[in-house]
A and B are shown apart, each in its own frame.
Chain A
């Protein structure tokens, strides 16, 4: 906050030497005054709920037991850490997010390279490829659950049957794969879009020069295109990770947290809305915030590194 406010102040000497101190100070006061409502609103909207959450996390409170509500100190945190659900959920979150991001990136790269070439119907192909990302997550989960992965009427098992393979009970036998499939299907187009933008920003002269020098397609891709794409890949991975960390819909609709798919957001939902344990849920919430801040700070620092390399931070 202070940094935001002080930024214009320090600029003062360079900016307004001619207009006179008084006039400038006045303008500055006005801009500051204009900033306050927004600042106050964001403080109210962000910090007060957070402080309330911390307050609730120190309470023992099951909503259905109004008589037993009271201050318990750090008991909720102790049970959060002792229960083991938090750590296993953290693991599930990393596994689900990590795998989905890696697979989406590999597939996204493949499709981006294919769609970068000129062919008849390229516009249509691009539009079709991007659709999964535009489908609402809940709708996507339902389509996969009923039309594709249903054990008796789903298209996936029908396809396996054509190949002479036995049917698979997706949710029962492969819950992790089920979730990762849906997420990959949704996020591959997103990664593909970013990488496609990167491919099209590539300098054609360099590619031509490589061709003149006699480099093959693979070598050109490995030594020229890939290094150029690195920053795009970093941004795609970062954004996809941020979005996938909050994944909830397919888990709630398809696996209900079974078979190692209980991510942090689903765990939070369960503690608050199934368990009705307000205190415990709040403690899980605070823990999640802490972990998210740590992870996101590291991740955002990486993002800024990407920006500064791109020459944006000047």
Chain B
């Protein structure tokens, strides 16, 4: 049966290419898209809004409470699509980049908002918000608002926001006989960390896990305060400059001497575990972690933690700034209804609603000044709320470091190429943490990658 054999031989490559194509499909991220916008509501009839959001607890609370909005607006219903952070970024980017029009409201991070607004993907909300006195747009946190503003127009409103700070285990520090100042320097923190570090307890937990949002969130703030930067104001890469190298070397050394044993597996979640089980004495990370450390159900250190400003070297402050925001894509067919919902979900009344319905500790933090004046909230979040607010108001996303920069943002560079750049450099850093590479060559390669990204901005 020579025949069948020939047939099979020819069919085989076809079969293989089918398998290979499954692989390829992963590659053509842009090939999909093409959702259909819901055109209902243009003639004043009932409107169905689709909201894409990250599946964080605060957003789940919003979904739980949306019926209250729907009761006030009987002609509008809101459907929530909840996703993991990375899936959300991917799905929403694809939808807006290909004019899909699937979503009427999207949740976007402060990194994306200026980029997307520059691409003309988001609608300008300035007029809608300023014309409504009840909404009180001036009550929004100024630095967060700055990060969401492009050429004097506000393209998104913060749902909740965060900075970073130093969290420390008071018991462990007391045992070692050291006290933490309210505004520590990195040198002081490093000394304390090395002093407290023992076989059972790490002196400090710092992220080393590869990923632009993992290790480079804290590490970029360290670079800033050491006087380094990814780029100068003319988009020339600065990664191989002495200040940048000094900052990264300091970080790597501190991790080696007093940090987690397995830095390449340590990210936010791993540090949270270590600190909440009393296995790390200190931690510099997102302010939002404080609420989790103070939750007696999941944390063994509730009530034992102290909080200080993020450590500095050459700058006054070195906290970062991140917010999850609600924005309306240009492709929506239901802009008016979407604006109504966005205003409701970020209003003072919504914060009251969360407080009375679900408990005051669950109010979205870091978005509005007035939240921090509500007595119930002050009481529920007494140990960390005031310092969170102070730091968020003190940081400067327009110039977090020593030298002026041409983008708004602290722990990231607000250009499309940054996630790729940060990701690749963070992978090479893993070899430095492990002692397989020297820092110098890694930063030289990073300089080349950064220069390519910088050239794209010129």
Contact = CB atoms under 8 A, between A and B. Distances in A.
Contacts of A61: 30
B264 interface: yes
B94 A284 contact: no
B427 A258 contact: yes
Contact of A285 (B12, B17, B26, B427): B26
A126 interface: no
Contact of A300 (B16, B416, B419, B433): B16
Contacts of B1: 313-314
Interface of B: 1, 3-14, 16-21, 23-31, 86, 90, 93-94, 97, 115-116, 119, 208-212, 260-265, 274, 279, 416-417, 419-420, 423, 427, 430-431, 433-434, 436, 456
Given A152-B261, A276-B420, A278-B28, A257 B427 contact: yes
A152 B279 contact: yes
Q: Which of B262, B431, B436 has the most CB of A within 10 A?
A: B262
Chain A contact surface mostly = helix
A259 B427 CA distance: 8
13 contacts: A3-B11, A45-B18, A63-B93, A66-B97, A172-B262, A172-B263, A259-B436, A269-B26, A270-B423, A282-B24, A288-B24, A288-B27, A304-B9
Given A7-B7, A314-B1, A46 B18 contact: yes
Given A273-B86, A289-B17, A300-B16, A281 B97 contact: no
Contact of A67 (B13, B28, B119): B119
A288 B431 contact: no
Nearest to B99: A66
Contacts of A292: 16, 19-20, 23
Contacts of A150: 262, 265
A256 B423 CA distance: 10
Interface in A210-262: 246, 254-259, 262
Given A246-B23, A255-B264, A272 B29 contact: yes
Contacts of B212: 274
A276 B4 contact: no
Contacts of B420: 274-277
A115 interface: no
Interface stretch (A29-37, A163-171, A193-201): A163-171
Nearest to B261: A151
B204 to A, nearest CB: 14
Interface string A142-173: 00010001111000000000000001011111
Nearest to B23: A288
Contact of B119 (A45, A64, A314): A64
Nearest to B4: A7
A269 B26 CA distance: 7
A234 B10 CA distance: 22
A307 to B, nearest CB: 10
A103 interface: no
A4 interface: yes
Contacts of A6: 7
A53 B427 contact: no
B71 to A, nearest CB: 38
Contacts of B7: 3-4, 6-7
A204 interface: no
Given A7-B4, A258-B431, A46 B21 contact: yes
Contacts of A1: 10, 14
A66 B7 CA distance: 45
Contacts of A152: 260-261, 274, 279
Given A64-B93, A293-B13, A274 B423 contact: yes
Nearest to B26: A268
A171 B262 CA distance: 7
A120 B21 CA distance: 47
A288 B18 CA distance: 13
Contacts of B210: 256-258
A131 B438 CA distance: 42
A39 B279 CA distance: 61
A271 interface: yes
A64 B109 CA distance: 14
A156 to B, nearest CB: 11
B31 A274 contact: no
Interface string A36-70: 00000010011001101100100001111111000
Contacts of A53: 24, 27-28, 31
B262 to A, nearest CB: 4
Given A66-B97, A276-B93, A300-B12, A50 B17 contact: yes
Contact of B21 (A49, A255, A276, A278): A49
Given A300-B16, A313-B1, A49 B24 contact: yes
A65 B120 CA distance: 11
Contacts of A149: 265
B251 to A, nearest CB: 15
Q: Which of B1, B24, B264 has the most CB of A within 10 A?
A: B24
Given A63-B29, A300-B12, 5 more contacts: A7-B4, A64-B416, A285-B26, A293-B13, A297-B12
Contact of A286 (B5, B24, B423): B24
Contacts of A45: 18
A175 interface: yes
B31 A56 contact: yes
A297 B13 contact: yes
Contacts of A296: 16, 19-20
A151 B27 contact: no
A42 B18 contact: yes
Contact of B416 (A65, A172, A259, A288): A65
A151 B433 CA distance: 15
A265 interface: yes
Instruction: List the 4 closest A-B pairs by CB distance, nearest first.
Output: A285-B27, A64-B416, A151-B262, A258-B430
Contacts of B11: 3-4
Contacts of B430: 172, 175, 256, 258-259
B28 A175 contact: no
A10 interface: yes
B28 A285 contact: yes
Contacts of A4: 7, 10-11
A45 to B, nearest CB: 8
B119 A66 contact: yes
Nearest to B119: A66
Interface in A277-313: 277-278, 281-282, 284-286, 288-289, 292-293, 296-297, 300, 304, 313
A61 B27 CA distance: 13
B395 to A, nearest CB: 25
Contact of A172 (B28, B94, B211, B434): B434
Given A259-B431, A276-B420, A172 B265 contact: yes
Given A64-B416, A257-B210, A151 B260 contact: yes
B405 to A, nearest CB: 19
